[in-house]
Amino acid sequence: MSAERKVRPFYWSVRRELWEHPAIYLAPAAAGAVGLLGFLVSTLWLARSVAGAVPKNDGLMMPYVFTALAVMMIGFLVSIFYCLSALNGERRDRSIQFWKSLPVSDRTTVLAKMAVPMVAAPMVVLAVILGAQFVMLVFSTVVVLLNGVDPGRLWARVDLRLMWTVLPYGLLVNALWMAPVYAWLLLISGWAKRMAIVWALAPPLGLALFERLAFNSTHVIRFMIERVVGGFGEAFSVKGEGKAAIDKFSDIDPVHTFSSPHVWGGLAVAGLLLAVVVRLRRSRDPI
């Protein structure tokens, strides 16, 4: 019997998710590339704007904001669809029998799948945004210089320091906020035989309909919407109230965020759901 080698089942389980679902990095990269391309064309007019007078809200930051938003949206959508197929696909093509024939526990596998929307996708989104914005800034600096305009005028108006601080913070908060949603989607993916998306939406929508008709109130639907889109508000607005966008460093308020019972409650629910997902993966047959 040969000596046991050191193995890293969690790391390789995440790697294999990324092999199987390249959209996790390709889709945000494509969104970043489109934003970048649009911006490069727009630099034809850049020098004039930079040289001109400075209105209060000039559009020079807009391409950076739009590109970041687009990449985040795509990353968010990819995460949702990834979760819906993560446990369904391996049962559908019966490859679950191959994965289960290896010394990797169901818990490791499920946690690796959860790590994709929680860690891998936000990291990809962040890298794509930073990369695209960096290229945008360098390219516009060159354009401005070639037109004989002082780049200092550009840098004064395109200040990415705040954005580059808020982005990683916001992506982290958003991931924590979304954890129960991702866990719920994984659960449906492990449970449903087909049309996971319908099964994922049916119970909350059914409950919302029932509530509306029975009690003429809308708590369920508002709670759901808050859960799905509230992460962005929690992360990117002042005090997480969703009213005013963060526009200075002192607006970033981790104490407020990490003392929020909504964040911790969501994480607790996510933990419980994941425990069920582990049990499901252990006992559900291939489809």
Nearer to other proteins, 3 or 44 (CB): 3
Report the nearest approach of other proteins to the CB of residue 106 (Å): 8
Report the nearest approach of other proteins to the CB of residue 77 (Å): 21
- If we measure between CA atoms, which residue out of 100, 85, 64, 45 comes closest to residue 193? 85
Rounded (10°) angle between helices 161-191 and 121-146: 150
20 binds other proteins, rule: CB under 8 A: yes
Q: How far apart are CA 231 and CA 225, in angstroms?
A: 10
Report the nearest approach of other proteins to the CB of residue 286 (Å): 9
161 binds other proteins, rule: CB under 8 A: no
7 binds other proteins, rule: CB under 8 A: yes
Q: By CB under 8 A, which span of 16-24, 139-147, 175-183, 226-234 interacts with other proteins? A: 16-24
Q: How far apart are CA 287 and CA 283, in angstroms?
A: 12
Nearer to other proteins, 15 or 222 (CB): 15
189 binds other proteins, rule: CB under 8 A: no
95 binds other proteins, rule: CB under 8 A: yes
Q: How far apart are CA 142 and CA 167, in angstroms?
A: 25
Q: What is the DSSP letter of 286?
A: P
- Of these, 16, 212, 239, 279, which contacts other proteins (CB under 8 A)? 16
Alpha-carbon distances, residue 19 vs 15, 107, 159 (angstroms): 6, 20, 36
Q: How far apart are CA 245 and CA 97, in angstroms?
A: 49
User: Which residues inside 222-241 make contact with other proteins, applying CB under 8 A?
Assistant: none
Looking at the DSSP bridge assignments, the partners of residue 237 are 245
- Of these, 76, 90, 170, 181, which contacts other proteins (CB under 8 A)? 90
13 binds other proteins, rule: CB under 8 A: yes
Tokens 């089942």 identify what position? Answer: 9
92 binds other proteins, rule: CB under 8 A: no
Looking at the DSSP bridge assignments, the partners of residue 245 are 237
End-to-end CA distance of the chain: 37
193 binds other proteins, rule: CB under 8 A: no
9 binds other proteins, rule: CB under 8 A: yes
- Of these, 56, 57, 103, 216, which contacts other proteins (CB under 8 A)? 103
Residues 263-277, buried b or exposed e (16+ Cβ, 10 A)? beebeebbeebbebb
Structure tokens at 67: 């590109």
Binding site for other proteins (CB under 8 A): 1-2, 4-9, 11-13, 15-16, 19-20, 90, 93-106, 283, 285
